[in-house]
Amino acid sequence: MQKKPILALEHISKNFPGVKALDDVSFSLRAGEVHALLGENGAGKSTLIKIMTGIYRQDIGRILLNGEEIHLHSSAHAQRYGIAAIYQEPMVFPDLNVAENIFIGHTDQGLVVNWGGMYKKAEEILSTLGVSLDVRSQTRGLTLAAQQMVEIAKAISQDVRVLIMDEPTASLSAHEVEQLFALVRVLRDKGVAILFISHRMEEIFQIADHVTIFRDGKRISSYAIEEVQQERLIQDMVGRELEAMFVRDFRAHGDQVLSVRHLSKEGVFDDITFDLHEGEILGFAGLVGARRTDVGLALFGIEPADGGEILLRGKPVHIQSPAHALELKIAYVTEDRRQLGLSLSMSVIANLSLPQLGKYLNLLGLIRRKHEIETAERYRQQLNIRTPSLWQEAGKLSGGNQQKVVLSKWLNTDPQVLILDEPTRGIDVGAKAEVHQIINDLAGKGIAIILISSDLPEVMGMSDRILVMREGRQMGIFKRAGTSREQIISAAMGMAEGEAGA
């Protein structure tokens, strides 16, 4: 039953500054098939979707629709070709009713809305999908699942031929997932080509006809679902061996610094338990939505936990604000450098000293600028921050150098616990290696480090132990030695409980 492809991508490459997001990718979708896309975070799936829906343009390569080359320049344009996408969070207009949402993109209806006709057509579309929804009700009150149905109906109304579903099941209940899958099968039987992205392995085996694995911006392999095993898919996702690029001097650990017991936050994460020692790096691995960052935010007092215990050097602490965390010498380097980590239009100097201004006061309570500059100069040399001047606005530095400023800012607080959230995301390979070297040196100085990272080789190469989370739950703590990547990935995807070792 090999049909001709509806949509074909040929030799697509896409570069971002410092990152090769897609590297010579060829890929095609056939009518009436559900094609699953698998890959770790950063494997290139999102970039691929954005190219297919006209949000990004490829640097090299062609997109063919029914054998003819097309050039997409916006998502509205892609929709006119019948290529639509729905996402984890439905993008409906909450104040409009179901029918209005379905027909929102139709501008060729004349000046006056034919309400009766619109409601009738909306009902027709929904009934072909086997969905019962009141087309006159506001979308605001609908469940996430129902809102997704509305989005799918909207795509149908635009004569969709290729439907991209980016983690549509991530926020749905098991029953809702069933409903969604029933709908997906209806669409497939109508001859729509469906590209389905999910991190849940069992769903892929349930719904997909074909599966393609991406890794590091490349297409690794494709299989028909009935002729492949789960283990094979995981091997392909994980791929490469641990590179020698990770510098890590493993030493004996010092005293226990932090001890977290059954830490919970209602509806966010539950029962997180671990110990952390001087000079130790504890990796936090997991997929998107694993809630690792939320644990970091709780430890830093931004979003305090509401259950469980945090012991710092044996004493229970209730961290309620970042200022409090700073007093306790806990520092948190955020994953969102530009929004949360830096004041972009302030100078490197002012950014660096902000959490620790108290250190720079003279007897009158005034800031001694000379000392601030000296500190900034010291970190510029130590961490090799490349900036034309220390008075340069932080926002004008490259990603890697911005990250070094953020690291300097927190190192200057002299932390005993340092939480690093995706410290190398979005920075180029060279800067990445430098940041790894810095992290290694910090552990060498006895700082206890939590390394949250979606980059599996990074987290496995740098950590002493790895805590794996999935959807707010702790799946196990793995020792670095003797743990394979397959084990980590399996735990992160919820397929096997890891041996919980402390």
Partner 1 sequence: MTTTTHTTDDSQEQMSSRIRSFLLRQEVILLIISLLAVMFLAFGSDRFLTTDNLLNQGRLLTEIGLVALSMTFIIITGGIDLSVGSILGLCAIILGVMWDPNGAFALPLEVAVVICLLVGTLAGFVNGLIIVRLGVPPLITTLATLALYRGLAEGISQARSVRGYPEEFYVLGQGEFLGVPTQLWVLLIFCILTAVILSRTIFGRAIYAIGNNELGARFSGVPVGRYKIMIYTFSGFMAAMAAWIFVSRVSTTRSDMGSGLELDAIAAVVLGGTSIFGGSGSIIGTIIGFILIQLLKNGLALSGVTTDGTIVVIGTVLILAILINNFIQRRSGNG
Instruction: Give dist(CA 370, CA 351) in Å, integer.
Output: 15
Out of 322, 437, 471, 486, name the contact with partner 1 by CB under 8 A. 322
CB 443 within 8 A of CB 467: no
- 67, 267, 365, 482: which one binds partner 1 (CB under 8 A): 365
**In the complex, minimum distance from the CB of residue 74 to partner 1, in angstroms, rounded to a whole number:** 27
Stretch near partner 1 under the rule CB under 8 A, chosen from 19-27, 160-168, 317-325, 482-490: 317-325
Choose one: 175-183, 259-267, 306-314, 324-332; the region binding partner 1 (CB under 8 A). Answer: 324-332
Q: How far is the CB of 276 from partner 1 (least distance, A)?
A: 21
What are the tokens at 77? 């344009």
Per-residue buried b or exposed e for 31-58, using 16+ beta carbons within 10 Å of the residue's own CB: bbbbbbbbbbbbbbbbbbbbbbbbbbeb
Q: Using CB under 8 A, which of the segments 102-110, 166-174, 240-248, 362-370 binds partner 1?
A: 362-370
Tell me if 391 contacts partner 1 by CB under 8 A: yes
Applying CB under 8 A, does 373 fall inside the site for partner 1? Answer: no
Interface with partner 1 includes 350 (CB under 8 A)? yes
Task: Identify the residue among 109, 321, 382, 484 touching partner 1 (CB under 8 A).
Answer: 321
Tell me which of 111, 244, 323, 363 binds partner 1, using CB under 8 A.
Answer: 323
Pairwise CA distance, residues 502 & 476, whole Å: 9
Residue closer to partner 1, measured from CB, 155 or 325: 325
With CA atoms as reference, report the closest residue to 263 among 300, 288, 217, 237.
300
Is residue 326 involved in binding partner 1 (CB under 8 A)? yes
Give the three-state DSSP class for 150: helix
Contacts of 344 (CB under 8 A, 6+ apart): 338, 393, 394, 395
Interface positions, 286-305, toward partner 1 (CB under 8 A): 300, 302
With CB under 8 A as the contact rule, the residue among 109, 389, 429, 500 that binds partner 1 is 389
Cα 276 off chain centre by: 25
Strand 269-277 with 193-197, pairing = unpaired
Give the residue from 478, 472, 471 showing the smallest Cα distance to 498: 478
Choose among 495, 469, 466: nearest CA to 289: 469
The sign of the CA dihedral 64, 65, 69, 70 is negative
Per-residue binding string, partner 1, 402-441, x by CB under 8 A, is -------x--------------------------------
Q: At closest approach, how far in Å is the CB of 447 from partner 1?
A: 18
> Exactly one of 27, 196, 332, 478 binds partner 1 (CB under 8 A); which one?
332
Round to whole Å and give the CA distance between 100 and 86. 17
Shortest reach from residue 369's CB to partner 1, in Å: 8
Give whichever of 329 and 473 is closer to partner 1, judged by the CB atom.
329
Tell me the closest approach of the beta carbon of residue 42 to partner 1, in angstroms.
Answer: 24
Residue 370 binding partner 1, by CB under 8 A: no
CB 137 within 8 A of CB 80: no
Query: Which CB sits closer to partner 1, 17 or 388?
Result: 388
Q: Answer yes or no: are the C-beta atoms of 466 and 454 closer than 8 Å.
A: no
Instruction: Between 157 and 353, name the residue whose CB sits nearer to partner 1.
Output: 353
Segment lying near partner 1 (by CB under 8 A), choices 45-53, 351-359, 470-478, 481-489? 351-359
Q: Is 61 in the site for partner 1 (CB under 8 A)?
A: no
CA torsion sign for 242, 247, 249, 255 is negative
Cα separation values, 481 from 157, 231, 315, 465, Å: 54, 21, 31, 8
Window of 173-181, 245-253, 321-329, 452-460 that interacts with partner 1 by CB under 8 A: 321-329
The answer to whether the CB of 98 falls within 8 A of the CB of 90 is: no
By CB under 8 A, is residue 132 in contact with partner 1?
no
Cα 100–Cα 105–Cα 110 angle in degrees, nearest 5: 80
Binding status of residue 355 toward partner 1 by CB under 8 A: yes
Q: Return all residues near 111 (Cβ < 8 A) that are at least 6 apart.
A: none
- Is residue 325 involved in binding partner 1 (CB under 8 A)? yes
Tell me, by CB under 8 A, how many residues bind partner 1.
31
Told to check if 334 binds partner 1 by CB under 8 A, we report yes
- Site for partner 1 contains 500 (CB under 8 A): no
Asked whether position 320 contacts partner 1 by CB under 8 A, the answer is no
Q: How far is the CB of 294 from partner 1 (least distance, A)?
A: 14
Quick one: 303 or 486, whose CB is closer to partner 1? 303
Give yes or no for residue 358 binding partner 1 (CB under 8 A).
yes
* CA 262 from centroid of its chain's CA atoms: 25
Stated as kind and residue range, the H or E segment containing 180 is helix 174-189
How many whole angstroms separate alpha carbon 90 and alpha carbon 96?
14
CA distance 116 to 124: 12
Which CB, 76 or 357, lies closer to partner 1? 357
The yes or no reply on residue 344 touching partner 1 (CB under 8 A) is yes
Q: Which is nearer to partner 1, 150 or 394 (CB)?
A: 394
Q: Which residues bind partner 1 (CB under 8 A)?
A: 300, 302, 321-323, 325-326, 332, 334, 339-346, 350, 353-355, 357-358, 361, 365-367, 388-389, 391, 409
